[in-house]
Amino acid sequence: MSQDRLSSAPGPTAGKDPLSNREREMLPPMAGMDATAAAAQESAAATLGRLAGVTVAVPDPAATAAFLGDGIGFAVESLPGGDVAVRCEGDYGPRGQTAVVLRQAQGGAESQELLAITWEVADGYDFAALAVRAAEAGATTTETPAGGLALADPAGNPLVVEPAAAHTVAPPAPGLLGPRRLGHINVKSDAPPRSSAFFQRVLGLKLSEQIGDNLFFLRIGAEHHNLGIRPGERGMLHHLGCELAGWHAYQPILDRLAAHGWKVEYGPGRHVPGRNLFTYVVDPSSGLRVELFADMAQIADERGHEPVRWEAGDRMTKTINTWGPTPPASFLA
């Protein structure tokens, strides 16, 4: 596919290996992994389900819920104990998705701190094998009440892998035109290459594209990315990627946000990695950033795809926006 839409200069390279040599050097020793890494990765990728949702600390859950509900169009439900569930259709099927759980930031917790990134798996998922891969990568696993495992990636992001049945909710009743689902998250790491390698080896995600050793885009299945990793403060969220039905869906949502006084931070535009339409909006009460995206690339031919690698200097000139404008400083913080 053609990535170089902004310049006639040389474009990206397609790597032969999903892990760069530098990534491999940064990994801790993993006994026996050389012989089994490919098979383990394939197995995990075949059985890891959708990104179920995230739990995020915010200073005022009700205010953030109003932004996500009244502004963007999520269904909002207060939970016992003070959390707020932010829900949407999810996967076009019979199950809804609790895309976000908003939790009151407690003493010392920073706004946008990630308290959990939850991934679903189907019946029969081999949790014991996950525990082995995690241990080989130096991560400790603990069992969750729902029968899954909790662990942390090298950047300290708390991860939860649980049976899909534990995350089944009824789809919200038809209402405001809003996001269909949480499609990806974009997290910060103090060692992006190491984090990328961890998600590939332990959770079985596949590398779709990277920009230098700074930005990594990884996928579960055919969708170009369900996880983005960028440099930044450990354990913090950069944005939630929420899918809209298409270009036509932006107008009512952005008009609704504007009616409340909530402005666009960056966009509209089209990224090169993922080739998706984007518009970023930010909840003023928490700083929570939501990417409204649509038209994400699908990698249907796994055998024919090799990870695309851009040079670090290509980010602003060739990858950030095929339509031109670069982001404000707030987006890059």
204: region left, alpha or beta (phi > 0 left; psi from -120 to 50 alpha): left
Q: Which stretch binds Fe ion (CB under 5 A): 88-96, 173-181, 183-191, 299-307?
A: 183-191
Question: Which residue number, 61 or 241, has a Cβ lying nearer to Fe ion?
Answer: 241
The residue to which tokens 């012989």 are assigned: 35
Q: Which of residues 238-257 bind Fe ion (CB under 5 A)?
A: 241
Question: Which residue number, 213 or 291, has a Cβ lying nearer to Fe ion?
Answer: 291
Question: Which residue number, 30 or 249, has a Cβ lying nearer to Fe ion?
Answer: 249
Q: Which candidate, 287, 271, 136, places its Cα nearest to that of 279?
A: 271
The residue to which tokens 């995690």 are assigned: 134
> Is the bond preceding 80 in cis, omega lying within 30 degrees of 0?
no
Exactly one of 23, 213, 291, 314 binds Fe ion (CB under 5 A); that residue is 291
Shortest separation between residue 39's beta carbon and Fe ion, angstroms: 30
Give the three-class secondary structure for 152: strand
Q: Which candidate, 64, 118, 128, 11, places its Cα nearest to that of 262?
A: 64
Shortest separation between residue 225's beta carbon and Fe ion, angstroms: 7
Q: How many residues does the chain have?
A: 333
* 179 lies in the binding site for Fe ion (CB under 5 A): no
Using CB under 5 A, count the residues that bind Fe ion.
3
Question: Which residue number, 198 or 266, has a Cβ lying nearer to Fe ion?
Answer: 266
Question: Which residue number, 121 or 229, has a Cβ lying nearer to Fe ion?
Answer: 229
Q: Which stretch binds Fe ion (CB under 5 A): 5-13, 124-132, 283-291, 321-329?
A: 283-291
First to last CA, the chain: 31
**Amino acid letter for position 293:** F
Which residues in 212-320 belong to E strands, given as ranges?
215-219, 227-231, 237-243, 264-270, 277-282, 289-294, 308-310
Question: Which residue number, 19 or 290, has a Cβ lying nearer to Fe ion?
Answer: 290
Give the three-class secondary structure for 66: helix
Q: Which stretch binds Fe ion (CB under 5 A): 6-14, 154-162, 291-299, 325-333?
A: 291-299
How is residue 210 written in tokens?
Answer: 């990277």
Q: Which stretch binds Fe ion (CB under 5 A): 113-121, 157-165, 233-241, 316-324?
A: 233-241
Give me the residue whose beta carbon is nearest to Fe ion. 241
Binding residues (CB under 5 A) for Fe ion: these are 186, 241, 291
